[in-house]
């Protein structure tokens, strides 16, 4: 995930240095970002592509403004539509999530797409999940959480927490799990994203595990 953020951060900083000159032409910011997405996506160098194992039908969200951005785009060949859209609104941000016609397709989205949606929807929580669909996390106010898998195979997922959290304890077995530090990319003194303590946790099919910290 952070490799993607680093690539995007470099692009944003380069664009910000020439944005004034670009805005004096017929080329707008969204056009530049769309071209960048095509260049690094499957149509271009295929650096950031993610694919599902089946087709899905989504509503086609259109927008007539140049001050909002596609955070995640769904592509069919070179034709793209917003999957997660963001716009600045007053002192906050407005997000629009495109929900597939078949709600179950939300679970079938690529892991990287789900992680990005989780980051924007639940990034303010003290515990964040990274992993495939049909794995859930339940947070409690007593410094604990529960992981539950509805999948047919054992999975390894990542739980992101404040860097000050050094270890987790499996409530049932007493096992101690150590975390690894993930440092957010930084470019020219500007930090992109948050630093996290990352815990890799295994969970068996159709089971749950409880942890305290």
**51-67 confidence digits (pLDDT tens):** 777 888 999 888 876 67
CA atoms of 37 and 168, how far apart (whole Å):
38
Query: What domains can be seen in the chain, in order of their start residue?
Result: 126-213 (2.60.40.1180)
Does residue 2 surpass a pLDDT of 90? no
**146-190 confidence digits (pLDDT tens):** 999 999 999 999 999 999 999 999 999 999 999 999 998 776 677
Average pLDDT over residues 30-34: 65
Does residue 35 surpass a pLDDT of 80? no
**14-27 confidence digits (pLDDT tens):** 666 666 666 667 66
pLDDT at 133: 94
pLDDT at 24: 67
């Amino acid at each position: 995930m952070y490799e993607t953020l680093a690539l995007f951060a470099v692009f944003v900083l380069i664009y910000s240095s020439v944005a004034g000159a670009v805005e004096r032409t017929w080329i707008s910011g969204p056009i530049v970002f769309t071209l960048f997405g095509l260049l690094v996506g499957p149509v271009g160098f295929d650096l950031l592509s993610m694919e599902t194992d089946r087709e899905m039908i989504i509503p086609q969200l259109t927008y007539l403004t140049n001050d909002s951005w596609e955070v995640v785009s769904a592509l069919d060949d070179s034709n793209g539509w917003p999957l997660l859209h963001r716009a600045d609104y007053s002192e906050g941000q407005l997000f629009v999530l495109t929900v597939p016609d078949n709600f179950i397709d939300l679970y079938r989205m690529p892991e990287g797409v789900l992680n990005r949606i989780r980051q924007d929807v639940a990034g303010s929580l003290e515990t964040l999940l990274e992993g495939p669909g049909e794995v859930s996390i339940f947070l409690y106010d007593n410094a604990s959480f529960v992981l539950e898998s509805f999948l047919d195979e054992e999975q390894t997922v990542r739980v992101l927490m404040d860097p000050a959290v050094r270890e987790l304890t499996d409530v049932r077995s007493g096992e101690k799990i150590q975390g690894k530090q993930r440092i957010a990319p930084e470019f020219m003194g500007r930090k992109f994203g948050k630093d996290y303590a990352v815990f890799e946790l295994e969970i068996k099919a159709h089971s749950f595990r409880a942890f305290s910290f």
